[in-house]
Structures are given as structure tokens and as C-alpha cells.
Amino acid sequence: MDYYVAIASIIGIHALLGLSVYVVAISGQMSFGQQGFFAIGAYLAGMSTAMWGLGLVPALVLGALVAGAMGFVVGFPALRVRGLYLAIATFGFGEIVRLAFLNVRYTENIGGRVVGPNGAEGFRHVRYVYDRGFTGLHYLAVILVVLVVVVILFFLLERSKVGAKLRAVEEDETAAAMIGINVTRVKVVAFAAAAAVAGLGGGLFIHYSTYIDHDMVALPLAIASVTYPLLGGLGSFVGTLLGAIVLVGLTEGLRGLQGMREFVYGGLIILMMIFRPRGIVDEALVLRVKSWLSPRAPREPVQAP
Amino acid sequence: MKRLTGFKVIALVAVALLLGPVAAPAFQGEGTLRIGGMWALSGGAAFFGKAALGLATLAADEINEAGGVTVAGKRVKITMHPQDDACNAEQGLAAVRRLATVDKVLFSLGPTCSSVAEPVFGTLQKKLGDSGDTGLQLLFFTDTATKFGLAKLSPWVFRNTPDEPAMYDFIVKYLKETKPELKTVMVSYESDFAHSAATWKGALEPALKKYGHHEIKEVVDWRWLDTEMGAQITKLRRANADVYFALAHTTSMCPSLKEMKSQRVRPKMIIGITSLAGTEVLINCPDLAEGVISPTNFAPINPKAKQIADKSWEKYKADSNIHSVPAYENVHLIKGLIEKAQLKNTEESLLEDRRKVRDLLAKVGTFQGVIGKITLHPEDHPVKPRDVDKDMLLVQVKNAKWSVFWAPPHLKGN
Amino acid sequence: MLDATEQFINGLMFGCLYALIGGGFTILFGVMRRFNMAYGSTIMAGAYVALVPVYLFRAPAWLMVLTGIAAAVLVGLLVEFCCFRFIKKGHELAPLMTTIGMLIVINEAIVHATDAVGLKYPSPFGDVALELGQFLVRRDYLAVLVAGVVCFTLIFLLLYRTRFGRAMRAVAERPEAAQILGVSVRRVNVLTFVLTSALAGVIGFFAAVSVGSARPDMAFFVTGKGLVVMVLGGLGSLPGAIVGGLVLGVLEFEATWFLGATYRDILAFVILFLVLVFRPQGLVGTRTT
């Protein structure tokens, strides 16, 4: 049981990271730097509970806020560029954050233990959750509540004017600008929101793992975070959730294959993308589901994927 | 048609998802005793993970061939349940729960990487027997993860791993006494690799300061995956010290030695990091590493050690080295404890059984390892509770093989 | 000052390797307009397979290069087949994922075959540095310099003096127009993969020679450098990739010398970020596309 709870917890945390990439992606951009915001959220939330005596909720909120603020600061210059440029610029930002944490030493001696970010040796003893008697299920509930709150916000966002603006910016920036949308503002706000979501994921992660170091927020995490929305599909945030479930699930589900695990994992990714190049939940599927749900809505022509 | 096939692929994936985790076998009714291991069996650290798995399996084989282990009046066989963590923290966090609650092992060996051990040990129970502490209750007897202080993270963690502060303390003292004419040193380390950085800051630097004999001429650092060290080696060339401490793992050790050869930097003595003394560096750059000295806890210096090294290679292609041989020792030690502990070995008694073995392990004191005696410190030890003291040797690369450079006198008789 | 100059010389020569990596990424991206995450793995596969004849008999260096090229071309064609051929137009992000899948498969194949242990690489150019006046110059870096000049000369000849090169440039600049003019885009795509993979074989050999071993982390190393160089030079510009590679090489060597490894990496990414944001056309580019 604990094992499945653990898998679900990791899926939940990574889904938040994936959603963060997703928000940037629906404004038409690809970010390889969300793990930087994840790291900021993790270190800040960890320091909040382990060093400053804050509770879990204020810690998570603080981590998310600081990550979001960083997203705002970085978003302004970075979002001047697009496409692969932005992908690499954001990756550069992620690496700068990682290298910064590699050099930050800010520790306190609490009860005979050295607590706090300690350079290459990492940040230990974030045991708030375990010391206060949270079981695995309790903490999974916390993760799911956060995830549900974020998802509800997303749901509202996709239906709101801001969501429509985002989609419009994704479709055609020039056209969006012509109908009076402040493209830069929409993009920067979306980027800051995305950063905050990644920061939330990081805060939840460090309280789950009790430990983080710079190596855990390097290139592999960047690749993982991008795979969830891409495999899941950019038609809806549901795709990202599904992507996280499938990919984290596969990593664990294929354990029985021992040494063959990674081969099958990589091969399945290729196969799934060949058959669903826009991901599992692509725009066509979303339209189809919508027309099922509300038969009165005009049936739009469904493009073959 | 195409969409249909697409969904077929996804259906296939769904089946894989469901089957994988569920396919765990039923518990011990079958008359076995399960031990687990959590190692990097894929990815960049697989060499170390596979070696430890091989040595642990060899020990289990030996026990089973001799009739197994006596539990609750019955002779039962040992089965190994290895889980791959790929040296990745998230996978480790899932794998440890799989070992604890699906595989239901009595105890676990591993993990390979300190960066996996940190979160895994951090989530274990910290206050023994306190139901208010919801950390996982799984006994670990670690073979590889070497970072100093890991065993302090939880009373469920015991380690049979190298004690680097003691090793470098000895080396500095040894150099001062036997080679007093070598007065200057230079150092390189991997600043982004916790193990290497800690060896410098926590082991070597304090030792050099303590004895005060050596003058530190230059300290340079690089990244453990760096391949280009031209600038750093030029600095070492300018420093031109007698002794060079290269606290670098094989990945950066080999290219840095190549650069040294290129720039004709020839210190009188090169001393490497603890993990170096294995086959890895001999495959990677045997010619460049010629003459390099490294501290270790294992070398095939007696018949028993030789036999283990040969057999593990023959049967499992597993390298016997400083990190893998402890896995062999740990399995044998715990086998003895199991027979003393009066386990019930049922699904219901699992937590109780783990606790019994844990309590015995905490009191084990000194036991016989493969090359010498090992002392497992009790829980109230002020510096390193649940960690070991053991014999150390210095080995040197000679003709593309590790050979003994120095061994404690009491081992030489063996 | 002497030392800083020496670092400059070595950085310039080593930068040729970066330029070659960036060149490979640039050609691929220029023609395909899609990103190939498995290119680093192709380079690594070439480096590893080039060792096979050394293990079988004492193979000379040129035979290793040829083996590496052949292996890399095969792997490149496999990547093209698995990751690009079946993805229709309009799905620009799908190849990013398929090539990530391919990267996982190729890397794991190498880990599987070698237990992730680096394999010793012969050093056909000698280990001890040349003394040129007061400077020490590494022989394998000199070889990298020569390889860079030769490869780029061949590539430019191919692009500007052959029919295939014209077709490639046409596809890179205006794929629709090229198709109308009767250029087979599919054929150009496949030949582009052959060309860049052959280059990958050369890169793999020289990268492994200059490190002294073939290692499983090589794919990430070359992917990282390739991306940075490609962006520094301006996407799709081959001269830009050369300049970007040389600049990165010199920058890294000097930064390590003056600031140390930690600040070298931070500096590299800060500069990258600034170039991207304030000069997105790259160091030499002028176009604003």
C-alpha cells in the first residue's frame, strides 16, 4: 500500500512541475527552466519549516510566491525571445539557479544537527511532515489538495478571458496584439503563474524527501518536466496529469523487466508519440469530448491527428 | 485505423502499468527469508550497483548451499530482492517503500549513491518505537553510500562503509613519519560532488592542519563530469608540490591525469580518493593511473579475499572492491544475527522481526570481515554511531593492476 | 599573462570541437526545423563503436574514424526512421519527445554493454604537449583544430558547390518553394541525416581522443555544448556556429583560469542568457527571423 501511495505522491509532485511547463506551453512557448523555480520553491519552503519554524502551509505559499516573483523578474527579459531561444534561455536560467544553490551555505545548528542549504552537501533534515505524524496517506492527501486547487484554478483559467487571451497569443501573437491584447503582459503573467506552480511542487517535494541538493534539479528533471505535457498532450491540462501518471507509472511499472526497463520505457515513448504526435489528449480529442458533453454546442470539424 | 492503433499502444502501456507493481509474489509461506537491496542497476552508477548486487548474491548463494538459515526451528533459504534506483532520488523514494511493503524484506542493503541515501534515510523513522514518528521502519545495512554522517539520519541505518576522515588522517600521519622530506602538497577536488568536496573539507584539510607538517601550495577544483582541466593543471604545474592529493573519481581523474602528462607535471606522489581503488579506473586509464596510491578497505591479500574476488567475477561479473565487498560481509553478519534473534518470519511479525535484528545489530560490536576485524560502533558513539571502524590499506596501481602499497602489520601475517 | 595566452590558444583549439558540435546541430536544425535531442547520443555511439576494431586488432586511427563514421551514420538513419519519418508536418514538438525516447534507448544500450564504465581511448597524436616557444600546446587539440578546418571546408564545399548542397539550402530556407521546384524534401532530409551523422562520427572520435576515454555521459556533454553554440551563433547560421564554438572555448578556458570552475559555469550561462535576450540573432547574425 505504502508503495502505491509513494508512486501517487511522486506523480502528484511531478504533475505540478508538468503543469508549470504546460502553462508556458499554451502560450506557445517551451520552457526548459521550470526546474529552477521548483528548486527555489523547495529550498525556500524547506528553510521555512526547518529553520524559521513556519507551518507547512505558509511554507508552501512562501515558496510558491518567491518562485512566482522570480518568474516575473525572469519573464520580462526572457519572453522577448521565442521558440528554441526561449527554451535555451530558460534552461540557462535553471542552471544559474542550480549553480547558485550549489554555492549557497546558510546553516544553523538545531538540536545538534546542521540544518539548511549547505552547498554541494545539500539541504538535510526537512522532517516537518514525518515529525508531526503525517502518514504517507496524509501527505498524499496534502499533495492532492494542492493539485486539485491548482487544477481548479486552471479550469477557471481555461474558461476565463485570460485563458482565451493566452490561447489567442499562442495562435497568433500579431493578431492578438492587433485586437488589443497586451501580449507581453499576458505572457509574463502566465510565466509567473507557471513559476509559482513549479515552486509549489518543489515545496511539496522537499517535505516529502526531507532532502534536496543541486544535482536533483539538473538537466534530467528539466527533460522529465517537459515530457509530461508533451506526451500527455497540450489540448488540456488533463493531458499533463495523464502524462505524469503514464511516465512515472511506467518507471515503476516496468520494474519487473529489470535490466530491460529503460529500453522499453524509451521505446514506448517513441511509439506513443508516433501514434499520437500531439500527445494523448490533443486538441481534436478535447473538441470531441466537448461535443459529447454538450450536444447542443456546434460540432466543429475534427481534424484527424 | 491509425487512431485505433494509437489507443492500442496506450492500452498496452496501461496493462504494463497495472501488471508491474501488482506482480509481487505472496509472502514467506514458501519457506524463504527475504533480503532486499537498493542499488543503481541502470544509469551512470550501474558499475557500482551491479558489483554490490553480485557480492551480496554470492553471499546468499554460499549460505543457501550450506543449507540456508535457521528461522523458527526451520531451515529456510535466502532470496534476494534487488530494486534499481538508477541513482535517482525519486526512484529511490519509491523503491524503498516497495522493499518495505511489497517485497516485505527483512532488511535492505545499499543504496549506491549518497544522493539517494539522503532522502531515503531521511524518510526513515527517527525516533525508534515512537508511533508519532511516521518515518518508514526498514532496516538498512549499507555497503556503498559513503558520505560522512549518513548513518546519523535514522536509528534504522547501519553502515559498513569507509571512514574517510580516519583514512586521510592516517595518510597524512604516515607521510609525515615515513617521508618527512615531502613537505609541500597540492589538492584537486570535484566541487559539485558531495563525496569529493566532503573528503577535502571534512577529511583531508583537517588532517593536514592537525599535523601541520605539510604546506598547502595550491587547491583547485572542477566538476565531476568535466573533461577539460587545462587551466587547473597549469596552476598545479606552477605550484609544483611534492605530494598531489587528487580527490577525484574516475570520470574526472583520468582526463586530469592525461592533462598532467601532457603538461609534464610529475609530483613525487599522487594519492587518490577512496572510491578509486576498483576496476573502473583500470579500464578507463590504466597507463595514466600508474603509480597512483589510493586508500581502501579491500584488497585480495589473503586466500579468502582472493577466492571471493575470483568467484564473484566468474559467477556474476561483479568487481570486488571497497564498496561491494561490504555487501558480502553484511549478508553473512546478518545471517548470524537472524539465527540468534528468534524471528517468527511471518507477514504479521515483519516489523517486530526487523526491530529484533536491528537491536542485535546495534550491539554487535566487533565482527570478522573478509580481510580483518570490523567494529560496528554502538548507538551512543559520540562521533559516528552505527558506522564502522575497519582496517585500511593503501594500494597502488602497478602494471595496470592494484597492488598493496601498505598494509597494517597484523594483516600481513594472514 | 603568459599563462592566460596559453589558455587562449588551447581554448581556441578546443573551441573547434565545440564549433563542430554546434555545426552538426545547426545543419540538422536548419534543414529539419526540428530539434534532435538524440544527436548527442549519435555522437556517443560513433565514439564507442570506433573502439571495436581496436579491441579486435591494433587498428590505426583512420580505421577508427571510418568505423565511427559508419556506425554514426547507421544510428543517424535509425533516428531518422524512428523519430522523424512517421511524424507528419505540423507536429513540431513530437520529434522532441521521440528523440528523447531515442536518447534514453541509445544511452541505456551503451550502459548495458559497458556497465557505465568509461573505456580507454588510444591517443594516436601522442600524450605529451608540444613546446611552441614558451607555450605548451596539446597535440590532440591541434588535431581537433585540423579536423575542424577540414570538416568545415568540406561542408562549405558541399553546401555551395554541389547540387545536393543547393537543394539542402533551398529546403532550409524555403521548404515549400523547394518542393515546388522539384526538390525531394524527404530525400534531402535523409541525406542531411547522413551528412550530420558522418560529422557526428568524426566529432565522437575527436571528443573521445581529447578526453582519453569514451564515456556514457558524453551525450549530455555534447548536447549541452551544441545547444549553447548554436544559440550563441544564431540559429541556423553555420559561420555563427564556428564563431560561437571558438568564443565558448576561449571563454571557458579563460574563466577557469581567472575565476575557477564554479564561476566559469555561472558566467557561461549568464552570458548565454544575456546574448539570447539582447542579441537573439546571435553573435554574428543580422537577420531578425
pLDDT (tens digit per residue) in B329-353:
999 999 999 999 888 888 888 999 9
Mean pLDDT of chain B: 90
Q: Which CATH architecture fits C2-278?
A: Orthogonal Bundle (1.10)
Closest approach of chain B CAs to the CA of A275, in angstroms? 5
Q: How far is CA B146 from CA A215, B82, B329, C177, in A?
A: 17, 20, 16, 62
Q: Any CB–CB contact under 8 A between A272 and chain B?
A: yes
| Interface residue A210 vs chain B (CB under 8 A) | yes
User: Is some CB atom of chain A closer than 8 A to the CB atom of C267?
Assistant: no
Instruction: Please give the interface size between A and C, counted as residue pairs whose CB atoms are below 8 Å apart.
Output: 110
Nearest chain B residue to A279 by CA distance is: B6
Assigned CATH for B164-296: 3.40.50.2300
- Give the model's pLDDT for residue B29: 55
Residues in chain A: 305
Average pLDDT of the segment spanning B344-370: 92
Distance CA B225, CA C186 (A): 38
Contact across the interface for C273 and A92, Cβ inside 8 Å: yes
Q: How far apart are CA A197 and CA A67, in angstroms?
A: 8
Cβ-Cβ contacts under 8 Å, A231 against chain C: 97
Residue A302 has pLDDT above 90, yes or no: no
Are B387 and B151 in contact, with CB atoms under 8 Å apart?
yes
> What DSSP letter does each residue of B328-377 carry, written as one string?
HHHHHHHHHHHHHHT---SSTTHHHHHHHHHHHHHT--EEE-SSSEEEE-
Residues 6+ apart with CB under 8 A from B404: B299, B301, B393, B394, B395, B396
Interface test with C, best of A93, A254, A273 (most C CBs within 10 A): A273
Average pLDDT estimate for B89-95: 93
Q: Which residue in chain A has the smallest CA separation from B196?
A: A120
Q: Which of A122-126, A165-169, B198-202, C67-71 tops mean pLDDT?
A: C67-71
- Compute the 3-state secondary structure of chain B and give helix, strand, coil in percent, each to the nearest 5: 45, 20, 35
The answer for A 74-113 residues in CB contact with C (under 8 A) is 77-78, 80-81, 84-85, 88-89, 91-93, 95-96, 99-100, 102-103
Decide if C283 touches A, using CB distance below 8 A.
Answer: no
For testing the chain A interface, which of B83, B118, B381 should be mutated: the one with the most A CBs within 10 Å?
Answer: B118
CA distances from B132 to A9, A132, B96, B116, B349 (A): 21, 7, 20, 25, 20
Closest Cβ–Cβ partner in C111, C118, C257 for B231: C257
Band of pLDDT at residue B412, cut at 50, 70 and 90? low
On whether any CB of chain A is under 8 Å from the CB of C273, the answer is yes
Q: Are strands B373-376 and B388-390 parallel, antiparallel or unpaired?
A: antiparallel
Per-residue pLDDT, B14 = 65
For the ranges A51-55, B50-54, B376-380, C33-37, the lowest mean pLDDT is seen at C33-37
- Whether the CB-CB separation of C246 and C19 falls below 8 Å is answered with yes
Gap from C91 CA to chain B (nearest CA, Å)? 16
Quote the domain boundaries for residue A44: 2-218
Please tell me which of the candidates A99, A266, A270 has its beta carbon nearest to residue C266: A99
Q: Are the C-beta atoms of residues B322 and B315 closer than 8 Å to each other?
A: no
pLDDT at position C93 is: 83
Burial (Cβ within 10 Å: 0-12, 13-18, ≥19) of residue A256: middle
Contacts of B41 in chain A (CB under 8 A): 258-259
- Best of C82, C100, C110, C287 to substitute, by most chain A Cβ atoms within 10 angstroms, is C100
Contact B123 A209 (CB under 8 A): yes
Q: What is the mean pLDDT of residues C19-30?
A: 93
Cβ–Cβ below 8 Å for C276 and A88: yes
A259 touches chain C (CB under 8 A): yes
Residue A304 pLDDT class (50, 70, 90 cuts): very low
**Would the CB atoms of A277 and C280 count as touching at under 8 Å?**
no
- Alpha-carbon distance B98 to nearest alpha carbon in chain A (angstroms): 5
What's the confidence (pLDDT) of residue B44? 81
Average pLDDT, chain A: 88
Q: Which three cell numbers stand for residue A39?
A: 528548486
Distance CA C278, CA C280 (A): 6
Band (B237; pLDDT cuts 50, 70, 90) = very high
The residues near C109 (Cβ < 8 Å, ≥ 6 apart) are A263
Q: Is C174 on the interface with A (CB under 8 A)?
A: no
pLDDT score recorded for residue A81: 81
Query: B265: which residues sit within 8 A by CB, 6+ positions away?
Result: B233, B236, B237, B240
Strands B139-142 and B107-109 turn out to be parallel
pLDDT greater at residue A21 or residue A82: A21
CB-CB under 8 Å, C118 with B250? yes
- Per-residue confidence (pLDDT) for residue B17, from 0 to 100: 61
- Asked if C115 and B288 come within 8 Å (Cβ–Cβ), the reply is no
Q: What is the pLDDT of residue A295?
A: 64
- Do residues A39 and A250 touch, judged by C-beta distance below 8 A? no
Number of domains comprising chain A: 1
Candidates A253, A259, A271; nearest CB to B17? A253
Contacts of B258 in chain C (CB under 8 A): 123, 127, 211-212
Closest CA to C246 of C77, C16, C24, C38: C16
Give the DSSP H or E segment for B246. strand B243-247
| Residue bearing the bigger pLDDT, C20 or B344 | C20
Q: B390-405 burial string, b = 16+ CB within 10 Å, else e?
A: bebbbbbbeeeebebb
Q: A78-92, B35-49, C156-170 — which is least confidently predicted?
A: A78-92
C-alpha cell at A234: 497540450
Residue A247 lies in a domain: no
Best interface-test mutation with A: which of C82, C99, C105, C107 has the largest number of A CBs within 10 A?
C105
* d(C-alpha B193, C-alpha B182), whole Å: 29
- Kindly indicate the confidence band of residue A278, based on its pLDDT and cuts at 50, 70 and 90: confident
Q: What is the DSSP letter of A235?
A: S
Question: Chain B contact for A216, CB < 8 A?
Answer: yes
At residue A296 the predicted structure's pLDDT band, cuts being 50, 70 and 90, is low
Residue of C nearest to A227 (CA): C97
Number of CB pairs, chain B paired with chain C, less than 8 A apart: 102
Cβ(C198)–Cβ(C43) below 8 Å: no
Q: Write the residue in A122, A127, A256 that is nearest to B118 by C-beta.
A: A122
What pLDDT does residue B306 have?
A: 93
Domains of chain C, by residue range, sit at 2-278
Give CA separation, C103 vs A295, B397, C20, C100, C106, in Å: 44, 35, 20, 5, 5
% chain A with pLDDT above 70: 96
Structure confidence by residue, pLDDT tens digits, C96-153:
899 999 999 999 999 889 888 899 999 899 889 988 888 889 999 999 999 999 999 9
* Whether residue C256 has pLDDT greater than 90: yes
Other CB atoms closer than 10 Å to residue C114's CB: what's the count?
18
Pick from B359, B159, B119, B105: nearest CA to A130: B119
Determine if the peptide bond prior to B111 is cis (ω within 30°): yes
Q: Answer whether residue A296 is part of any domain.
A: no
Residue C6 has its nearest CB partner, among B222, B234, B259, at B234
- Is the predicted pLDDT of residue B164 greater than 60, yes or no? yes
> Which of C100, C262, C269 has the CB atom closest to A95's CB atom?
C269
Mutating which of B191, B219, B258 best tests the C interface, going by the most C Cβ atoms within 10 A?
A: B258
Is residue C88 classed as helix, strand or coil in its secondary structure?
Answer: coil
CA distance linking residue C283 with residue C15, whole number of Å: 15
**Grid coordinates representing B378?**
554502538
Please report the pLDDT score of residue B400 as a whole number.
92
DSSP string, A186-220: HHHHHHHHHHHHHHHHHHHHHHHHS-B-GGGGSHH
- Mark yes or no for CB contact C100/A103 under 8 Å: no
Is there a contact between A259 and B193 if contact means CB atoms under 8 Å apart?
no
Q: Is residue A237 part of a domain?
A: no
Contacts of residue C47 in chain B, CB cutoff 8 Å?
A: none
Look at residue C211 in the predicted model and tell me its pLDDT. 92
CB B221 to CB C260 under 8 A? yes
Average pLDDT over residues C67-87: 94
Summarize the confidence of residues A205-221 as an average pLDDT: 93
Give chain C positions within 8 Å (CB) of B227: 210-211, 221
Phi-psi region of A304 (alpha: psi -120 to 50; beta: other; left: phi over 0): beta
Is pLDDT at A305 greater than 50 in this prediction?
no
Quick one: closest CA in B to A112, which residue? Answer: B152
Tell me the count of A-B CB pairs closer than 8 A. Answer: 150
- Which pLDDT band, with edges at 50, 70 and 90, does A303 fall under? very low
C-alpha span between A253 and C192 (Å, rounded): 38
Sequence ranges of the domains in chain B: 30-162+303-376, 164-296
Partner residue opposite C118 with nearest CB, options B228, B232, B251: B251
Lowest-pLDDT range of A240-244, B34-38, B215-219, B300-304: B300-304
- Lateral strand order in the sheet of B366-368: B366-368, B373-376, B388-390
Chains that touch C (3 or more CB pairs under 8 A): A, B
- Which cell goes with A180? 488589443
Is the Cβ–Cβ distance between B124 and A136 less than 8 Å? Answer: no
Contact C262 B221 (CB under 8 A): yes
Q: If you average pLDDT over residues C60-68, what whole number do you get?
A: 94
Quick one: CATH architecture of B30-162+303-376? Answer: 3-Layer(aba) Sandwich (3.40)
Q: Of B86, B87, B99, nearest to B37 (Cα)?
A: B99
Question: Which chain A residues are within 8 Å of B102, Cβ to Cβ?
Answer: 3
* Cβ <8 Å between C261 and B47: no
Report residue C74 as a C-alpha cell: 547507421
B47 and C117 in contact by Cβ < 8 A? yes
pLDDT confidence tier of residue B18, bands split at 50, 70 and 90: low
What pLDDT, on the 0 to 100 scale, is given for residue B414?
47
Q: List helix spans (H) across C212-234.
A: 218-233
CA distance A112 to chain B (A): 11
Q: Flag whether A79 is in a domain.
A: yes
